[in-house]
Structure 1
Amino acid sequence: MTSLLDEVFTVLVFPGFIFSVVMAFWFEYLERKITARVQKRVGPLITGPRGLLQPFIDVVKLLFKEEIVPKGTDIFAFRIAPVLAVTIPVFGMCFIPIISWKTPLSFQADFLLVFLLLALSLLNVALTGYSVLSPYTSMGVGRLLVQYSMYEGIFLLSLISAMIQTQTISFEGLLRYQSIKGPLILYQPISFVCALLALLAKLEKRPFDLPHAKQEIVAGWETELSGRGLAFIRLYTDLSMVWGISLLVIVFLGGPLGPGFNSLMPVAGFTWFAIKALGLTILLTVISASTGRIRVYGLADIFWERLYPLLLVQLLISYFLRWL
């Protein structure tokens, strides 16, 4: 019974749904404030202390707004895809060890589960766009699939590089290795930089926001969304940012590991994880806010011509590091 309650608490509260949603709103607030500062604007200011509640209020407003469904829409896919999209990053967060070595849902190959969830997240987004017969959504999904073919391999190879060096397929194994050898970013800076750029592309942040470029295709695959559907997709985007940053923190930065972790495990673990995640959020936001959109051939130049060769070198280095 205790084990069952722990698992339910993990899924519904921490680090599952409630914690993930709160972090999603917090990360969006940080993103909007930092972007505003970089671009000499103000950002959220009125709702809540210094605009802190603005992301939450925006989602609540969308939930109660009228939802317009275009003619010829596949209603079932149009309704279910945004809901399923939200569940994937929340489910992924349930396996992220934030305050200890593992979570109640952890198992021996939980790191491999990430590969499946990453593929499913794109499937839901594509289903959302293709459920509507609109040229803008079709073009947006087409751009998304082209971008996916370039960044997803980079992101997965970066994670595989960590698996090769640590010889483990579990998050707990990754943390145990880093507790002895130090953070993997010290050994794999190339993988970290490649994963960072791939995460920007996955989140469709500048300079990789081609799938929903407002100046070109209105809002891309999100064009026909409104009301509840748009609220769920916005929440999905923020949750994906939380999940992606958490993955990089665990894989390359040691997650909750830091001074005092063994003696003050819950408090120290959460503190170190939060500091690392905050730093990574600021870094991603500054990069996104200070760059302009690139074209498709520029995307291919970055990922295919530059990052893939660098990652192959990193994979060879990781293979030799496993024997040290």
Structure 2
Amino acid sequence: MAIYFTRRVLQSLFTLIVISMILYGLISSVPGGFMSAYTERSDFTQEDLARIRAKFGLDDPIPVRYFKWLTAMLQGDMGNSFTTKRPVLQEIADRLPNTLLLMGIMLVTTLLVAIPLGIISAVKQYTWFDHIMTTVAFAGQSLPVFWFGLLLIIVFAVTLKGGNGKPLLPGSGMYTLGEPFSIADRIKHLILPVSMLTFVSAAGYMRYLRSSMLDVIHEDYVRTARAKGLKERLVIYRHALRNAIIPLVTLVALDLPSLFGGALFTETIFAWPGIGRLYFTAALKTDYPLVMAVLMIESALIIGSNLLVDFIYAALDPRIRLS
């Protein structure tokens, strides 16, 4: 067991280093880059541009800059933002609670919607309910996220009005400017982005659980449970669901890194001040340290979640350690 765990940890660290090299090389090779914001200005002389390049270390070759960045990162320093001059970790820490709030609520509502609908759709296979849910699930997986978000804003924040003449639901931000903190106000600002993310995410989870349930409910132990006279509800939830939900749990565990990364399109469309919008803004401004920090932290979380799943599988099935 110890040898298997050590091998997997070393493989994960090597993968993370390779990912960092690829990301750094791609970001540093983008045409124009950070200096384009200064070279297009007529009030900057060549001496000014040279001083800026020297200040940010842009005169060094990419491999040299990478090793400097890697050395600093291993010491807990991921650099300062080019635009705000603040440490990138502080920039991320300021936005992280907002992303965790949005994505955490989304994950809970997604599971509350997807699990019951997936079970019912499997139990009532080929009924009108199953056909409707299947159609809705396909629509949720096929709709462009940005288009659906804009549609929600047009309907609920522009067209429909409340009793006071204001929009029925706010279409941007996470609170109303100029008003004191209110839980009800936060909930109103959460409704549209959470609904958008839930509709898209629940569609995939529901289809996945439906397929898993269909594989399980025809197994011998389920038929035996029915033959013993157990109520159908107990057969479904105590016997079938406990086995069918294992693959879904794995899928959710692999999706947990998205709690950090946020939802780029959703946070941008609804002006939600989270990690996704921070990354989008940094990419537009070619803020390399901030972009690199977000990508590396999310890459580390993805690799870590896969590693955790491997450890759980290895603990449950000893045959995996021999593969």
Length-normalised TM-score, structure 2: 0.29
**Larger Cα Rg: Structure 1 or Structure 2?**
2
User: TM-score normalized by structure 1?
Assistant: 0.29
